[in-house]
Amino acid sequence: MGLTTRGRWNKIAKYWPLMLLMVPGLVYLLINNYMPMLGMFIAFKNINFTQGIFGSEWVGFKNFEYLFKTSDAYIITRNTILYNAVFIVLGTILSIAFAILLNEIRKKVLSRFYQSVIVLPHLISFVVVGYLAYAAFSMDTGFMNKTILPMFGIEPISWYTEPKYWPYILTVIHLWKSVGFSCIVYLASIISIDTEYYEAATLDGASKWMQIRTITIPLITPVIVMLTLLSIGRIFYSDFGLFYQVPMNTGAISDATNVIDTYVYRGLMVMGDIGMASAAGVYQSIVGFVLVLGANYIVRKVNRENALF
Amino acid sequence: MALDHKGIRIVANTVLSLFAAVCLVPFALLIISSLSSEASIIQNGYSFFPKEFSLKAYDYLWLHHLELGRAYGITVLITVVGTAVSLAITSMLAYPLSRRDMPLARFWTFIVFFTLLFNGGLVPTYLIYTQIFDIKNTLFGLLVPGLLMSGFNVLLVRTFFLTSIPPALIEAASIDGAGEIKIFYRIVLPLSLPIMATIGLFQAITYWNDWFNGLIYLTDSRLFGIQTILTKMIMDIQFLTSNSNAAGSGAGQAIAQLPSTSVRMAIAAIGVLPIMIAYPFFQKYFVKGITIGAVK
């Protein structure tokens, strides 16, 4: 007994400098991550600033009842999931296609040039992307209405008031911004494939197309499965910048552009409806958490090594 | 479908150069429209071949160089300080977690890891930062929330320490009488420059591009960085006029003459330009860094 206490003291004496190093980072996680987790209780309160966060009255699941009674709950859930599903499918196909093509470029300089250029959109903030989108889709001055549509003799379209175009616009912009990035990830896994496979296949007279189908794709399948499942785990979260900046916060098209993240933001910052916003936020956190665990469970079943935990 | 080697190379080059063009062209439109005269934008829309070029937008920015210079300064300051602090606290937390002999290392690693799986969401985060820490309308609002340290980076650096720093080296230094903290910054950090550079680069880009913190934690326009100005301007095109005394007495007239579309593009251009100019120098590390992050 006395010995273990002394052992513990020795340990503390030996490791306190290391413990000290950890303090700033842990304090930051406490403030930035763990306190907000505990703060989720406000979704069960009717927040009233004169009474303060702690003084406000408990209302149980009332905020959630209100939220799910509105049509908003359905719309934001549908939009979030559908957009992400389309992003995952198209994004994966395009990135793999580009990665395979990029792998065929033998000139080092050229390959590096392509790689640098296609990740450029990823470097730009969504504010600037919003400006670029506005240059393309503005009613009176946009590139689409003034240059592209007249070429085909089509009348100008009022893009920012017509919800039906936005699923396409947002998908294209998302792909523009992200495909280059994930293409590089897939390229890395293609490059790591042993070239002997291809040499043997060429000797046997296999065409390029056949090699891609029977060597490249099967060998990168574990990576595809893992990355896809991880994005499915994040399907309840969306890129706030894409859905906030690009539609320029326009009310007329919100049915097509409102996702959980923008809904929470508007509830909190614009409407001042903290109850509704925090209920939607808790809904997102909980379902999102379950989905991450589920996705990871499946990854573990498929391939233990690729699992996150 | 028989694709020989030459054939696929032609396909690859065609497709990739098209894709590369699609990635570059919007930036060209951005720069060109910032250099177009207001009249030609209003008449013919944003165009790659404007009827008339003009530096008016940049003249206008120069007229407001005090406000814009200040915003630029704030963005640079936040980027530099944020990146430096972030690298410091990330590596300081990651190193003890990487030590196999450290008591409770597994527990603390889980504490870091759990933040990747679950978060409290915007509302509680906002309320805690504004109500408890009173961060609204301070520069800390730009610096701290969400960005200062990511659990993901901590785990990345920890993995680097685990796999690239031989424990024997640390032991030897310890036998020579070096203390833990000295070992950390004399031996471990110098050996970790590659991962530090990568994380620092991504962190700097994140800070430079961040507009979200400015959007929710700032209302005082004197604290706006360049991205916040752009964000607020989208909501209020007249931002510059409403915030300037430089326009002087004939404010109404000044607004009428305001080259708003090209000015907006010019501000967007100067927001992107530093990254574009620096990109050729860091693109190698950036492209490499993407794969480091992806394969954990």
Residue ranges of domains in chain A, CATH in brackets: 62-130+173-306 (1.10.3720.10)
Say what the pLDDT of residue B250 is. 46
Indicate the residue of A248, A264, A274 with minimum beta-carbon distance to B234: A248
User: With an 8 Å Cβ cutoff, are B128 and A31 in contact?
Assistant: yes
Structural domain contains residue B137: yes
Report the C-alpha dihedral over residues B33, B36, B40, B46, rounded to 10 degrees: -10
Q: How far is A164 from chain B, CA to nearest CA, in Å?
A: 23
Mutate to test the interface with B, among A50, A127, A291 (most CBs of B within 10 A): A127
Structural domain contains residue B57: no
Structural domain contains residue B24: no
Provide the residue range defining the domain that includes B75. Answer: 65-243
Identify any residues that bridge with A46 across adjacent strands, giving them in sequence order: A57
Q: Does B190 touch chain A (CB under 8 A)?
A: no
Which residues from B are below 8 Å from A268, CB to CB? 122-123, 126
Structural domain contains residue B23: no
pLDDT > 70? residue A52: yes
- Classify residue B49 as exposed, middle or buried by CB count within 10 Å of its CB (0-12, 13-18, 19+): exposed
Indicate the residue of B102, B184, B205 with minimum beta-carbon distance to A123: B205
Token pair belonging to A196: 């002997």
Q: How far is A222 from chain B, CA to nearest CA, in Å?
A: 12
Structural domain contains residue B12: no
A29, B119 in Cβ contact below 8 A?
no
Lowest mean pLDDT among A43-57, A273-287, B181-195, B250-264: B250-264
CA distances to A34, B94, B102 from B97, rounded to whole Å, are 19, 5, 7
Which residues from A are below 8 Å from B211, CB to CB? 125-127, 241, 245
Question: How many domains is chain B built from?
Answer: 1
* B148 vs A8, more confident: B148
User: With an 8 Å Cβ cutoff, are A208 and B5 in contact?
Assistant: yes
Structural domain contains residue B192: yes
Q: Does B277 touch chain A (CB under 8 A)?
A: no
pLDDT > 80? residue A74: yes
Q: How far is B250 from chain A, CA to nearest CA, in Å?
A: 27
User: With an 8 Å Cβ cutoff, are A135 and B30 in contact?
Assistant: yes
Structural domain contains residue B267: no
Which residues from B are below 8 Å from A45, CB to CB? none
pLDDT > 50? residue A56: yes
Token pair belonging to A176: 């523009």
Q: How far is A273 from chain B, CA to nearest CA, in Å?
A: 10
* A49 vs A122, more confident: A122
Quote the ipTM score.
Answer: 0.89
Identify any residues that bridge with B36 across adjacent strands, giving them in sequence order: B53
In degrees, to the nearest 5, what angle opens at C-alpha B237 toward C-alphas B235 and B240? Answer: 115
Which residues from A are below 8 Å from B45, CB to CB? 138, 140-143, 145-147
Q: How far is A41 from chain B, CA to nearest CA, in Å?
A: 9
- Classify residue B117 as exposed, middle or buried by CB count within 10 Å of its CB (0-12, 13-18, 19+): middle
pLDDT > 80? residue A43: yes
**Minimal-distance CA residue of chain A relative to B292:** A185
Rg (CA), chain A: 25
Residue B151 sits in a domain of what CATH number? Answer: 1.10.3720.10
Backbone angles phi, psi at B53, to 5 degrees: -90, 155
Say what the pLDDT of residue B236 is. 63
| C-alpha atoms less than 13 angstroms from C-alpha of A231 in its C-beta half-sphere | 21
Q: Does B61 touch chain A (CB under 8 A)?
A: no
CA distances to A152, A157, A224, B57 from B44, rounded to whole Å, are 16, 16, 45, 17
Q: How far apart are CA B228 and CA B212, in angstroms?
A: 8
**Minimal-distance CA residue of chain A relative to B38:** A141
A256, A78 in Cβ contact below 8 A?
no
User: With an 8 Å Cβ cutoff, are B290 and A101 in contact?
Assistant: no
**Minimal-distance CA residue of chain A relative to B209:** A125
User: With an 8 Å Cβ cutoff, are B95 and A18 in contact?
Assistant: yes
Q: How far apart are CA A240 and CA A263, in angstroms?
A: 10
Give the percent of chain A with pLDDT over 90. 42
**Minimal-distance CA residue of chain B relative to A106:** B9
Indicate the residue of B8, B115, B227 with minimum beta-carbon distance to A33: B115
When pLDDT is cut at 50, 70 and 90, the band that residue A37 belongs to is very high
User: With an 8 Å Cβ cutoff, are B45 and A32 in contact?
Assistant: no
Which residues from B are below 8 Å from A24, CB to CB? 88-89, 92-93
Q: Tens place of pLDDT for every residue, chain B, 296 residues?
A: 445 677 888 889 999 999 999 999 999 999 998 888 888 888 888 888 888 888 888 888 888 888 889 999 999 999 999 999 999 999 999 999 999 888 889 999 999 999 988 988 999 999 999 988 999 999 999 999 999 999 999 999 999 999 888 989 988 998 988 888 999 999 999 999 989 999 999 999 999 999 999 999 999 989 999 999 888 877 665 344 344 444 444 444 444 445 577 888 888 898 898 888 888 888 888 888 887 766 54
User: With an 8 Å Cβ cutoff, are B12 and A126 in contact?
Assistant: no
Give the percent of chain A with pLDDT over 70. 97
Report the run of H or E that residue A161 belongs to, with start and end. Answer: none
Closest CA to B241 of B260, B225, B226, B228: B260
**Minimal-distance CA residue of chain A relative to B39:** A141
Structural domain contains residue B258: no
- Full 3-state SS string of chain B: CCCCHHHHHHHHHHHHHHHHHHHHHHHHHHHHHHCECHHHHHHHCCCCCCCCECCHHHHHHHHCHHHHHHHHHHHHHHHHHHHHHHHHHHHHHHHHHHCCCCCCHHHHHHHHHHHHHCCCCHHHHHHHHHHHCCCCCCCHHHHCCCCCCCHHHHHHHHHHHHHHCCHHHHHHHHHCCCCHHHHHHHHHHHHCHHHHHHHHHHHHHHHHHCCHHHHHHCCCHHHCCHHHHHHHHHHCCCHHHHCCCCCCCCHHHHHHCCCHHHHHHHHHHHHHHHHHHHHHHHHHHHHHHHHHHHCC
Q: A205 — alpha (psi -120 to 50), left (phi > 0) or beta?
A: left
Say what the pLDDT of residue A34 is. 95
B262, B54 in Cβ contact below 8 A?
yes
